[in-house]
Structure 1
Amino acid sequence: MWQHKVQTAIGILLVSGFALLLGSSGASAATEKCDRNCMTEMLTAYLDALVAHDPSKLPLADDVRVTEDSKALKIGEGLWQTVTGKGTFRHDYLDVRKQIAAAHVQLLEGANPALYSIVLHLRDRKIAGIESLVQRITPGSRFQPTELGKPIRGLDDPIPAGKRQSRATMIRTALTYTEGLRVGNFTDGGTPFAPETYRVENGVITAGEGCGRADCGLYTQNIMVHPGIIASVAAVDEENGVVLLWMNFGHTGSSYGEGNALVTFEAFKVWGGEIHAISAFFRGLPISTARFWPSSDPVPR
């Protein structure tokens, strides 16, 4: 009888110890997530390594995947071989929930700017995926960045009390911009711009205050129809109220070069049910260009 009691007690202790071990492992795994500071540091470390042409000290996952302009590369290829320095501009988009650290960054290739969209996919505090888009600016480029020596106005403004949206509604609000492009009219697309909304594309104000053109109104500008536009959610910075979308604008004749479409990582400051600021880095790529990375969140069709 006493042997049975001892065996039972030992069994209980073993089960309890195993449960504690599992709980401890779960807690340890939870601590492997990056917070905002960790994500900022990860982006800085990545950009420093990029400029130094030396990925050896980065915390890379064994199965790290790399794309540049939607083409598969090995770490150290592509812009890693040509970049010569950092410019003056960087804006981060930190998605703690999905462990995605993204940024728009101005880099240099000699004297010429390279507008760099970078999306780091993190897992267990390591870089498991590196997704980028590069737009090279030359003296002959149509868009010469004039707004990248300072922060993009409004993107980092604190969200007013009571105006913060849920992640899902932030995404829905941002996607009304895609719908406006699809139908060729932001009024018909139901895109809710705030009165102060303006848009910066490749470092140039193209709509709203500071645009400097005859047709600067977001609701009055003549925009072409983009019936084949595709959108994917790259990151949602819930704390700062910013949604970063990847978009392929689809077929629009020869508007973006014969056989090309505009491909962009475009950021939308969203709160109170309205879009308050827009910043995009884009370039022309073959119309068939896909993202080849999953959307962080479902995109309603």
Structure 2
Amino acid sequence: MRIGHHVMLGFSAVAFAWASLLPAAAAARPADAQSIDACDRACLTGLLTSYVDALAAGDPSKLPLAPRARFTEDSQDMKPGEGLWKSVTGKGGFRQDYIDLRKQVAAAHVEMREGKNPVLLSVVLHVEGGRIAGVETLVQRFTPNSRFQPKVLGSPIKGMNDPVPASGKQSRQSMIETALTYTEGLRVGNFTDADTPFAAETYRVENGVVTAGEGCGRADCGLYAQNIFVHPAILASVAAVDEEQGIVLLWMNFGDTGSYEPGNALITFEAFKVWGGKIHSINAFLTTRPQALGRSWPSLDPVRRP
């Protein structure tokens, strides 16, 4: 029996194709953050904190919003205060930021709470002039009866916050191309044939469960050793590139695998720590949604077809 790639959600065969890009967002965004009123790293990080705190308080009026700011949850347009805002009761103990200074995007994987139940939230803030012009979110909920529970989100993801050696720094485009070899490996069903360059210590966490690297608890903890299925219809989009930290955040739709109810697919925001031409650490928050669900925000950078 073959072992699926994203085990915590019961992975199976899917379809995959590179996306060049998805529908444009309603909110405008600067192509490059070089304007005099652009946010620096501390400013973008602070906006993430403001968002998480306002969400925990259930009060979107606390947010520094630009005029006509756009909100989406699971690619559906909503008004501030709708969706997760109505049910969240507080913050959990995990947050991993991805700061794209050049494109003025502040993204994060964050654990929130609905009572005692964890909620894994992917959030991407699109910033203009130091204010939030767009909020893009993806939500994965857990109950005590969920088959898989987030277990390793009490501390930072191994390797994700390590400083990038000066000799290992890559250009923005090179980082993206390295991360997309992972998507190509899923497309063809083989990381070896895709030349996906994993470091010896590559560590992967999916929805708070270690699925590759030290502590994964499987016989095939090495990414090259794991059996994966082909994904000929997967879509990929660039959500953020943290050039300082060497992290690429991709949005991906894995296509209809036939594993869930008809027409459903895995949707993810997946972060890749990239330096020295290799992938060193991976963190993904995944959920199941209709396969036809597009991202509804544009990719920050072009994604070529194979």
- State whether TM-score is above 0.5: yes
The answer for the alignment partner of 2:125 in structure 1 is 120
Secondary structure of 1:50 counterpart: helix
CA distances 1:249-282 after superposition (whole Å, capped 9, x unpaired): 01222x2443210000000000000000000001
Give 1 or 2 for the bigger CA radius of gyration.
Answer: 1
The answer for the alignment partner of 1:179 in structure 2 is 184
Secondary structure of 1:61 counterpart: strand
Matched-pair contact (CA < 8 Å) for 1:227–1:251: no
The answer for the alignment partner of 2:69 in structure 1 is 64
- What percent identity do the matched residue pairs reach? 69
> Counterpart of 1:223 in structure 2: which amino acid?
I
Matched-pair contact (CA < 8 Å) for 2:93–2:111: yes
Tell me by how many angstroms 1:31 deviates: 3.0
Secondary structure of 1:172 counterpart: helix
Tell me by how many angstroms 1:192 deviates: 0.3
Tell me by how many angstroms 1:243 deviates: 0.1
Q: Which stretch of the first structure deviates more once superposed, 135-144 or 37-46? A: 135-144
Secondary structure of 1:147 counterpart: coil
The answer for the alignment partner of 1:10 in structure 2 is none
The answer for the alignment partner of 1:159 in structure 2 is 164
State which of 283, 286, 289 in structure 1 corresponds to 2:287: 283
The answer for the alignment partner of 2:250 in structure 1 is 245
Tell me by how many angstroms 1:82 deviates: 0.3
Residue 55 of structure 2 corresponds to residue 50 of structure 1: yes
Where does 1:3-18 land on structure 2 (aligned, <5 Å)?
none
> Counterpart of 2:281 in structure 1: which amino acid?
A
> Counterpart of 2:58 in structure 1: which amino acid?
H
Distance 1:185 1:256, change over 3 A: farther
TM-score scaled by structure 2?
Answer: 0.87
Tell me by how many angstroms 1:143 deviates: 1.9
Q: Which stretch of the first structure deviates more once superposed, 210-219 or 173-182? A: 210-219
Which one has a larger percent helix, Structure 1 or Structure 2? Answer: 1
Where does 1:1-301 land on structure 2 (aligned, <5 Å)?
30-253=35-258, 255-301=259-305
In the alignment, structure 1 segments of 5+ residues that lack a partner are 1-28
Secondary structure of 2:144 counterpart: coil
In the alignment, structure 2 segments of 5+ residues that lack a partner are 1-33
Tell me by how many angstroms 1:241 deviates: 0.1
Tell me by how many angstroms 1:77 deviates: 0.4
Distance 1:130 1:44, change over 3 A: same
TM-score scaled by structure 1?
Answer: 0.89
Matched-pair contact (CA < 8 Å) for 1:184–1:225: yes
| Stretches of 4+ aligned residues off by more than 3 angstroms | none
CA distances 1:61-95 after superposition (whole Å, capped 9, x unpaired): 11111110111100110000100010000000000
Tell me by how many angstroms 1:142 deviates: 2.3
The answer for the alignment partner of 1:25 in structure 2 is none
> In structure 2, how many angstroms separate the alpha carbons of the residues matched to 1:69 and 1:252?
19
> In structure 2, how many angstroms separate the alpha carbons of the residues matched to 1:201 and 1:257?
21
How many residues align structurally?
272
Secondary structure of 1:250 counterpart: strand
Matched-pair contact (CA < 8 Å) for 1:256–1:262: no
> In structure 2, how many angstroms separate the alpha carbons of the residues matched to 1:258 and 1:251?
8
State the Cα RMSD in Å: 1.0
Matched-pair contact (CA < 8 Å) for 1:33–1:123: yes
The answer for the alignment partner of 1:19 in structure 2 is none
Tell me by how many angstroms 1:168 deviates: 0.2
> In structure 1, how many angstroms separate the alpha carbons of the residues matched to 2:139 and 2:260?
16
> In structure 2, how many angstroms separate the alpha carbons of the residues matched to 1:109 and 1:264?
21
> In structure 1, how many angstroms separate the alpha carbons of the residues matched to 2:264 and 2:189?
19
